[in-house]
Structure 1
Amino acid sequence: MLDWQEILLDVQRNWLLYLSMPFVAAAIGFVTKIVAIKMMFEPIEFIGIKPYLGWQGIVPRKAATMASIACDTMTSKLIKPEDIFDRLDPDRIAEVIEQPMLRVVEDITREVASHYSPGLWEVAPESVKKLIINRIQADAPNMIRQIMIDIKSDIRSVFDLKDMVVSNLVRNKPLLNRIFQEAGDKEFRFIRNSGLYFGFIIGCVQALTWAGTHSPWVMPLFGGFTGWFTDWLALKMVFNPKQPTRYLGIFEWQGLFLKRRKEVSAQYGRLIAKEIVTSKQVIAAVLRGPLSDRLFNLIQKQVQRVIDDQAGIAKPFVVFAVGSNKYQEMKTVIAEQMMERMPETMAHIEAYAEQAMDLENTMATKMQELTPEEFEALLRPAFQQDEWILITVGAVLGFMVGEMQVFVMEHFAR
């Protein structure tokens, strides 16, 4: 330990170096935060030699886990399949797609009839062809209406919301990054800037300690502590405390993410409604998702009913022309072709569905009803996954800069 006179003399002689310590510590805190945030999201794909020599952003690397955790909160607390489909009016849908559906029915009927009985269909009077087509077309809107009623009555049997959300986010990792980055934009800025303030304060303590000891361990240890502590404290301040709390009777603090609840709710709701649970994605999930075979069964049932009911006087002609077995097979083929043409047909209802579902406002409103713990779960997974790695990297970088400081101090002190 140096006495006061030695300390004062050393500070006078190396005042510029002492003055630089708080600023270097602030820079350490700032840079380590930038590195930590970058490491959370970048790179999108692994760079290096797998499995250990290299890096992939924590969020994209654990995309399935991240998406699943975020989706659990979303689907259990914010939005359910029933919320999406209960607002869709079967009559309105039938009205919107009536014209494109009539064209599809005619195309499919002609194609299937030509395939199963090319000779008889070609020589059949046009009036008979029109009769078959018109009678099937006549019930097409009712068929769509009934299919929608069947879907709404047991939506979970044909639509897996969680699978749709998780699949889309895992497939589109940049989108998963955007959700966390945009929802937590101000939190990430706070974490980055907090390194400056906390680092500067620690740097002042570092300068006093160095003045009294001149120990070569002061710089790297304080550098490592700055990197570690500022990372840890910033993360704590983002999510804690849950409620506004006064400290030392001087200032009040509430976890920044929770304090911005209303703003985050609106932003998160807009992101989900515009990027993930869109009418286009929902329709695609119903038609092509893991439960689409059940939708096909519904369509097949309705198609067979319509063909049997509407074939009318032409039914004996059709059965005679193709045989009873072929007639049953033909109905199945028509159902399959209807299913294949559904994406093209249902695309016409996307604008109506988006307006009717109003997911953006629904999400924002329901987010206001979440408990602080549930609300925190929307962003917290991005920090919790391998959080220790980020803090450790901050400490290591700080330690290395501290070693460089020792070299500089010894060089100028000579």
Structure 2
Amino acid sequence: MRRRGRGIVRTTSAAVWCIATVATASSRPAFIPGPGSKATATTTLTRNSRRKRHAIMIPPPFSRERVVIESIPSRIFEFGVQRFASDWKSYCAIPIIAGFVGWFTNYLAVQMIFYPIKWRGLPIYKVEGEPFGLLGWQGIIPAKTLKMSEAMVNTTVNELLTMEEIIQRLDPDVVSRILLPQSGLIVRPFVDELLADRPKFLSNFVTDYTSDTNRGMIKQRFAEKFLRDLTADVQENINTICSLRHCVVGKMCSDRSLLGRLFQISGKDELLFLVDSGLYLGFALGLIQLVISLYFDNPWTLSLGGLIVGLATNWLALKWIFEPVNPLRIGPFSFQGLFLRRQNEVSADFSKFFAEQVLTSRQLWKSMLTDPTTLPEWEKLIANRFATFTSEVTLGAVNLKLKSRKLKAASARVCATLFDYLEGLHDYVDQALEIDQTLRARMMAMTSVQFERVLHGTEAKKADHQVNRENEATKA
């Protein structure tokens, strides 16, 4: 009787196993034996025989919960396949369209950063210093040139360059030789203003000096001495007669395309990656959107997905460009922001553009001679130098008072016309100051945190705090 019972259990177990397997494969609910069936009797028999040494346990696949759970994924997958097959062309278009949307939105975003240079739209309402108005747009960088150029001077240029250092590279002897042919014209306003009521011999004395040929009683060596001493005065007082901030910001604001071109040249690879990444990331996100649309066919899902694709591609691309700031090693791999990995190349592009287009000799002299904050100091310097020089070469016969109204007026006229006579000096100054080489070397020596601020100036304050923490840690 016991052997017969065991045979019934084995036969029934095999039957139930087959039923469960077939039910799972066909994605149908598994057969669950009801009351009074042989399977129930067998199960009861098994339970009653657990206490016995030779009792037989039913395998886990016979569990009702496991059979039902295993059938759910197959049903979901089968449903998705059927939906995809019913309109596969439309579903295949989803990742393609998402890739295009990602690329186009990134491209449009980059264009809106730099263009248009001037605000375009209906002149109803325009927010000063902002790219938008009531109906119109201006490139973000052109609109924020004043703020961004000031931030660049404060966080980058001032840390790398000092006028007191680079102006010392000028050789007064070379400057005097270059400007010697123009020396008479430079001081001509002093002659017209100050010597008109002097004795005739003094007027002739200085008039011969101010002629283009520099012949007469004042020899060429006196003219060279005047120019050498004037150059030395400029070098000694450069901090009061030159504002690096006014020079850079003034140049940027006079041509609002400059700052944008500087960023486009320095960050050309990063901007290209920002645009192209929209295609790849958009396509990848579109695949996720495709799967979701198979099970949620509401019209708003595609619109919401497009919004998420546009935002996500921009956000991810910017993260990859600037983060991580410092190299992050994971096993044999090293990760760092794309912009930061190109530090040497960016340094070369940035410094070359800055030296050739922004901080040039022409811009330096123009800024010094027109800046309302430094022009009074220039007038004092010129007046003092001419008064000292005149007293020396005339052996005290002409003693000009520094507070004289005429001397101040003549000095103002000299400053107003001085820039016109410096044309031959610019090539030498650009070469002697070595702004390109100085900027490049010091930018390459920057830490990653400091260098990140060159293009990512909006995080300057955060970076400053991190730099301070690094410096404190180094000192400790």
Question: What range is the shorter-chain TM-score in?
Answer: 0.7 to 0.9
Q: 2:273 aligns with which of 190, 199, 206?
A: 190
Structure 1 segment 359-378 matched on structure 2, within 5 A: 359-378=435-454
**Corresponding residue of 1:18:** 91
Partner of 2:261, secondary structure, is helix
Q: 1:356 aligns with which of 432, 435, 441?
A: 432
Q: CA deviation at 1:192?
A: 0.5
Between the aligned partners of 1:305 and 1:186, the Cα distance in structure 2 is 56
Between the aligned partners of 1:359 and 1:100, the Cα distance in structure 2 is 27
Between the aligned partners of 1:278 and 1:305, the Cα distance in structure 2 is 31
**Corresponding residue of 1:223:** 306
Q: 1:101 to 1:147 in 2, by over 3 A?
A: same
Q: CA deviation at 1:103?
A: 4.8
Give structure 2 stretches of 5+ with no counterpart. Answer: 1-71, 127-132, 211-215, 461-476
Structure 2 residue 388 is matched with structure 1 residue 305: yes
Structure 1 segment 153-192 matched on structure 2, within 5 A: 153-192=236-275
Between the aligned partners of 1:18 and 1:96, the Cα distance in structure 2 is 75
Contact 1:239-1:376 at 8 Å conserved across structures: yes
Contact 1:33-1:192 at 8 Å conserved across structures: yes
Between the aligned partners of 1:31 and 1:239, the Cα distance in structure 2 is 22
**Corresponding residue of 1:412:** none
Identity %: 27
**Corresponding residue of 2:80:** 7
Question: Over residues 190-233 of structure 1, what are the superposed CA-to-partner deviations in whole Å (9 max), with x where a residue is unaligned?
Answer: 01011111111111111111112223332122211111111111
Between the aligned partners of 1:259 and 1:336, the Cα distance in structure 2 is 51
Contact 1:40-1:382 at 8 Å conserved across structures: no
Between the aligned partners of 1:352 and 1:173, the Cα distance in structure 2 is 27
Question: Which amino acid in the other structure matches residue 38 of structure 1?
Answer: Q
Contact 1:158-1:291 at 8 Å conserved across structures: yes
Contact 2:282-2:313 at 8 Å conserved across structures: yes
Between the aligned partners of 1:270 and 1:191, the Cα distance in structure 2 is 24
Between the aligned partners of 1:23 and 1:129, the Cα distance in structure 2 is 81
Q: 1:287 aligns with which of 346, 351, 369?
A: 369
Deviating more after overlay: 191-200 vs 52-61: 52-61
Q: CA deviation at 1:35?
A: 1.3
Question: Which amino acid in the other structure matches residue 344 of structure 1?
Answer: D
Question: Over residues 324-376 of structure 1, what are the superposed CA-to-partner deviations in whole Å (9 max), with x where a residue is unaligned?
Answer: 99x95554454344333321232221111111111111111010121212111
**Corresponding residue of 1:101:** 183
Between the aligned partners of 1:103 and 1:344, the Cα distance in structure 2 is 10
Question: Looking at CA atoms only, which structure, 1 or 2, has the larger radius of gyration?
Answer: 2
Contact 1:258-1:375 at 8 Å conserved across structures: yes
**Corresponding residue of 2:119:** 46
Q: CA deviation at 1:110?
A: 5.8
Q: 2:415 aligns with which of 333, 339, 343?
A: 339
Structure 2 residue 220 is matched with structure 1 residue 147: no
Structure 2 residue 164 is matched with structure 1 residue 82: yes
**Corresponding residue of 2:286:** 203
Between the aligned partners of 1:145 and 1:85, the Cα distance in structure 2 is 14
Q: 1:11 to 1:363 in 2, by over 3 A?
A: same
Partner of 1:299, secondary structure, is helix
**Corresponding residue of 1:233:** 316
Q: 1:286 to 1:109 in 2, by over 3 A?
A: closer
- RCO higher in 1 or 2 (8 Å CA, sep ≥ 6)? 1
Report the TM-score when normalising by structure 1.
Answer: 0.81
Question: Which amino acid in the other structure matches residue 434 of structure 2?
Answer: D
Deviating more after overlay: 279-288 vs 132-141: 132-141
**Corresponding residue of 1:255:** 337
Give structure 1 stretches of 5+ with no counterpart. Answer: 385-414
> How many residues of Structure 1 are paired with residues of Structure 2 in the alignment?
372
Question: Over residues 43-64 of structure 1, what are the superposed CA-to-partner deviations in whole Å (9 max), with x where a residue is unaligned?
Answer: 2222233234222211111111
Report the TM-score when normalising by structure 2.
Answer: 0.71
Q: 1:30 aligns with which of 99, 103, 106?
A: 103
Contact 1:307-1:331 at 8 Å conserved across structures: no
Structure 2 residue 343 is matched with structure 1 residue 278: no
Q: CA deviation at 1:147?
A: 2.1
Contact 2:112-2:140 at 8 Å conserved across structures: yes
Q: 1:349 to 1:116 in 2, by over 3 A?
A: same
